[in-house]
Amino acid sequence: MKLCFLVEEQYRHDGMPVEVIRRLTSWGHQVDVLRPGGSLLRMTEALQTADHDAWVLKTVSGGPGLTLLEAAAAAGTTTVNDARSIRGVRDKALAAAIGRARGLPLPPTYAAARPELLAEIPESDYPLVVKPADGSSGRSVHLVTSPDRLAAMAPELAGEGLLIAQPYVANSGVDIKVYGVGGELYATERRSPLHPDHAVPERQVPLSAEVAAIAARVGAVYGLDLYGVDVVLGPDGPVVVDVNDFPSFRQVPDAAARVARAVLGLAARGPRAAAPAELTAHADPTGSDDLADPAGLTGPAELTGLAGLTDPADAIKAPRLRMPEQRETADPAATAAPHRTSPAQVPVAAGKTV
């Protein structure tokens, strides 16, 4: 397959997506890397000669990559995740409206274009969690204990654009992060950004049926295939406090291989169907799937920065995928895409950076 990854500057050396790109190229797929934050883009011509099976977005919220992904989707190119779905969760005010309307357990949410407008929130709703509507990676998330404290923070919040505020959900200071990838769910727990002094090592944890059902519902509501859900266990049960597309997948066993296989399957499936695939919750935090290098290679393809991707050998052998309880050979694209009737011919080609 031929894929294009849109990678923002801060993720150029990040394990997600660098390791995924390495895995895909080691399997013999061509991966082109476009840096939307570091390239001059001729938008009127960018997609006229596009011939990729799919475009994959790994960028910061508010970055230019989503615009380019949306342009690709408008031209009929498959995008991972669906470009409309990404827009629906990257705007946290919009995500809150969609989620509450569809019955997800999200806290009541206020939105304000200027921080002083948040002063209208009733004092009975305090303490509040205030953050930018386009925030990511825990940026500028504040626990505000009183109206006076909110007023004092107004200068700090002034440059953040649209803000959202939600009543704080009392909890133990531990967030549950659920990752959805390849039709499976994995759970980890970690310290809440609102409790930086709370010593909680990030680790895999069993996934309860209640939280699994909520996480699966999140994927269906927002139309996401690769995603993360932040959940806190409040006095009235689990509450969704954040949803993000293409997260880090930290602590997911063999995350790079799982994400790479999911990308191939989604690319083979084509534009997203109305209903997502059924998700499987993994209660065993150790994971049991055997996702060894399907090509049987001793090392990944060479990757320098994301300046270019090259084949380390004269040619890469046909991929061989080792699945649990079997040792049959298979193209990972075919394995990851249950709707395909036959495997695609995979070109052996070096990737390039645009």
57-72 pLDDT, tens digit per residue, is: 988 777 789 999 999 9
Q: CB–CB of 171/234 below 8 Å?
A: yes
Predicted local confidence at residue 317, as pLDDT? 26
Q: CB–CB of 162/133 below 8 Å?
A: yes
The enclosing H or E element of 17 equals: helix 15-26
The pLDDT of residue 286 is above 60: no
Residue, of 198 and 132, whose pLDDT is higher: 132
Average pLDDT (129-152) is 89
The pLDDT of residue 154 is above 80: yes
Q: What is the DSSP letter of 114?
A: S
Query: What is d(CA 347, CA 33) in angstroms, rounded to the nearest whole number?
Result: 17
Query: What is d(CA 331, CA 323) in angstroms, rounded to the nearest whole number?
Result: 11
* 3-class state of residue 2 by DSSP: strand
Q: CB–CB of 90/245 below 8 Å?
A: yes
Q: CB–CB of 260/24 below 8 Å?
A: yes
H-type alpha helices, 198-302? 209-222, 255-269
The pLDDT of residue 294 is above 60: no
Average pLDDT (289-316) is 33
The pLDDT of residue 337 is above 90: no
Number of H helices, E strands in the chain: 8, 16
User: In the Cβ-directed half-sphere of 116, how many Cα atoms lie within 13 Å?
Assistant: 1
The pLDDT of residue 320 is above 80: no
Average pLDDT (155-173) is 94
Q: What angle do CA 129, 130, 131 make, to 5 degrees?
A: 125
Predicted local confidence at residue 49, as pLDDT? 60
Predicted local confidence at residue 322, as pLDDT? 25
Predicted local confidence at residue 125, as pLDDT? 97
DSSP string, 65-111: HHHHHHHHHHTT--EES-HHHHHHHHSHHHHHHHHHHTT------EE
Least confident of 101-105, 137-141, 181-185: 137-141
The pLDDT of residue 316 is above 70: no
Instruction: Note the pLDDT tens digit of each residue in 201-242.
Output: 889 999 999 999 999 999 999 999 999 999 999 999 999 999
Average pLDDT (36-65) is 82
pLDDT confidence band for 298 (50 / 70 / 90): very low
| Residues 6 or more apart in contact with residue 281 via CB below 8 angstroms | 184, 185, 207, 209, 212, 215, 216
- What does each C-alpha distance from 103 to 4, 42, 65, 96, 220 come to in angstroms? 35, 42, 30, 11, 12
Predicted local confidence at residue 38, as pLDDT? 86
Predicted local confidence at residue 19, as pLDDT? 96
Instruction: Note the pLDDT tens digit of each residue in 70-107.
Output: 999 988 899 999 999 999 999 999 999 999 999 999 99
Least confident of 35-44, 129-138, 274-283, 298-307: 298-307
- What does each C-alpha distance from 110 to 39, 141, 175, 233, 238 come to in angstroms? 36, 15, 22, 21, 20
Terminal CA-CA length for the chain: 18
Place of tokens 């970055």: 63
Residue, of 289 and 216, whose pLDDT is higher: 216
Average pLDDT (136-140) is 70
Query: What is d(CA 63, CA 101) in angstroms, rounded to the nearest whole number?
Result: 27
The pLDDT of residue 342 is above 50: no
Least confident of 43-52, 127-136, 298-307: 298-307
- What does each C-alpha distance from 66 to 24, 60, 69, 192, 201 come to in angstroms? 22, 9, 5, 27, 33
Q: What angle do CA 273, 274, 276 make, to 5 degrees?
A: 75
Predicted local confidence at residue 293, as pLDDT? 40
| Residues 6 or more apart in contact with residue 261 via CB below 8 angstroms | 182, 291, 332, 335, 336
Q: Give the tokens for residue 271.
A: 């534009």
pLDDT confidence band for 279 (50 / 70 / 90): low
State the average pLDDT for the chain.
79
pTM of the model: 0.78
Query: What is d(CA 66, CA 85) in angstroms, rounded to the nearest whole number?
Result: 11
**What type of residue sits at position 178?**
V
Q: CB–CB of 22/256 below 8 Å?
A: yes
The residues that bridge with 142 in the sheet, in sequence order, are 130
